[in-house]
């Protein structure tokens, strides 16, 4: 009896491993470790993170908050050149060897200022995971504070965005009230506060869903 | 007149001593910065740790260079 239908041989398709850049196409996703708004950032790990905990958001203050310090840094870098025009204000009254060392010390002070400005901005982060919100603060070079609260303990999320500069650059404050030991979390001057509030709302809904279904994750 | 009459010491020598003392304190500050960057990167990892550690070591090297320059030049 002739065959009515012969199933064509299946072509074996090898599962293509997506590259890191293809994995995440969600809006706001960035590979930039210096980004102030990182949605689903890669390579983020912090001290108290659990092994299965997934980082949803990594936030810092908007880079525009660094503008005043950046301007001061630029002035400090240019100061020896500009002030050399005015003999009274320059180091010209000093012997030549002292002038040279004075300029080096000036740039050493500039480096210290840059470090004191950049490090707190870079390491003071707000992290939202699928289970918690975490606030990491380094108040100075020798004092740090890490606070966290579970998503299901969040009672209220408010975001504020006001003023010309904040509206222009789309950054504001997100205030989170919780029922945990730390009653308030303040995400100050973060980009896209509306999106942050929306993500927190979605996570809270998901936590309630998990409770109803009796799931852990 | 750059010499202190009673002591017979040059004013600039005293300035040099204070400059070197200040640079020693700055060297200690640079060491604190290196240690603090280490502690900060242990608390939070975002994939920029190597660059920050290099910058902190460069800053420390710059502090040492300026101290040595002051020691030799002044």
Residues of B in contact with A108 (CB under 8 A): 26, 62-63, 66
Lowest mean pLDDT among A26-30, A193-197, B15-19: A26-30
What ipTM score was computed for the predicted complex, to two decimals?
A: 0.89
- Token couple for A201: 């709302």
Of B29, B46, B74, the CB nearest to A97: B74
Which residues, in sequence order, are CB contacts of A20 under 8 Å at separation 6+? A31, A42
pLDDT in tens, B7-53: 777 888 899 999 999 999 999 999 999 999 999 999 899 888 999 99
Residue B74's pLDDT band (boundaries 50, 70, 90)? Answer: confident
Of A34, A47, A115, the CB nearest to B48: A34
Residue B3: pLDDT over 50: yes
DSSP H stretches of helix in A3-142:
20-23, 67-83, 96-123
Residue A17: pLDDT over 50: no
Section A138-159 average pLDDT: 87
DSSP H stretches of helix in A125-217:
164-169, 193-213
Q: Which residue of A has its CA nearest to B69?
A: A101
Nearest to A176 by CA among A151, A156, A200, A146: A156
Interface touch B74/A142, C-beta < 8 Å = no
pLDDT at B29: 94
Q: Does A44 touch chain B (CB under 8 A)?
A: yes
Residues of A in contact with B43 (CB under 8 A): 46-47, 123, 136, 144, 146
- Confirm if B18 and B45 have CB atoms less than 8 A apart: no
Residues of A in contact with B37 (CB under 8 A): 119
- Token couple for A136: 């990491």
pTM of the model: 0.82
Residues of B in contact with A34 (CB under 8 A): 48
A10 DSSP assignment: P
How close A130 comes to chain B (CA, Å)? Answer: 17
pLDDT at A72: 96
């Amino acid at each position: 009896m002739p065959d009515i239908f012969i199933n064509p041989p299946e072509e074996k398709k090898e599962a293509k491993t997506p590259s890191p850049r293809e994995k995440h196409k969600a809006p706001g996703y960035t590979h930039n470790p210096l980004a102030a708004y990182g949605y689903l950032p890669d390579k983020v790990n912090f001290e108290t993170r659990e092994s299965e905990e997934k980082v949803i958001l990594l936030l810092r203050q908007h880079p525009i908050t660094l503008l005043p310090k950046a301007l001061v840094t630029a002035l400090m870098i240019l100061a020896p050149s500009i002030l050399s025009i005015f003999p009274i204000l320059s180091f010209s009254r000093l012997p030549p060897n002292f002038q040279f060392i004075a300029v080096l010390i000036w740039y050493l002070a500039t480096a210290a200022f840059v470090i004191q400005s950049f490090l707190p901005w870079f390491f003071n982060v707000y992290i939202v995971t699928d289970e918690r919100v975490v606030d990491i603060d380094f108040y100075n070079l020798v004092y740090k504070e890490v606070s966290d609260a579970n998503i299901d303990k969040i009672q209220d999320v408010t975001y504020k965005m006001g003023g010309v500069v904040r509206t222009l650059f789309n950054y504001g404050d997100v205030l989170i009230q919780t029922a945990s030991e730390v009653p308030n979390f303040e995400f100050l001057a973060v980009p896209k506060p509306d999106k942050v509030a929306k993500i927190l709302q979605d996570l809270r809904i998901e936590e309630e869903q998990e409770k109803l279904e009796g799931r852990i994750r | 007149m750059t010499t202190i009459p009673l002591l017979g010491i040059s004013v600039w020598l005293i300035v040099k001593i204070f400059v070197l003392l200040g640079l020693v304190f700055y060297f200690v500050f640079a060491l604190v910065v290196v240690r603090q960057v280490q502690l900060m990167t242990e608390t939070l990892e975002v994939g920029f740790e190597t660059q920050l550690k290099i910058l902190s070591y460069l800053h420390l090297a710059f502090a040492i260079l300026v101290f040595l320059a002051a020691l030799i030049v002044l």
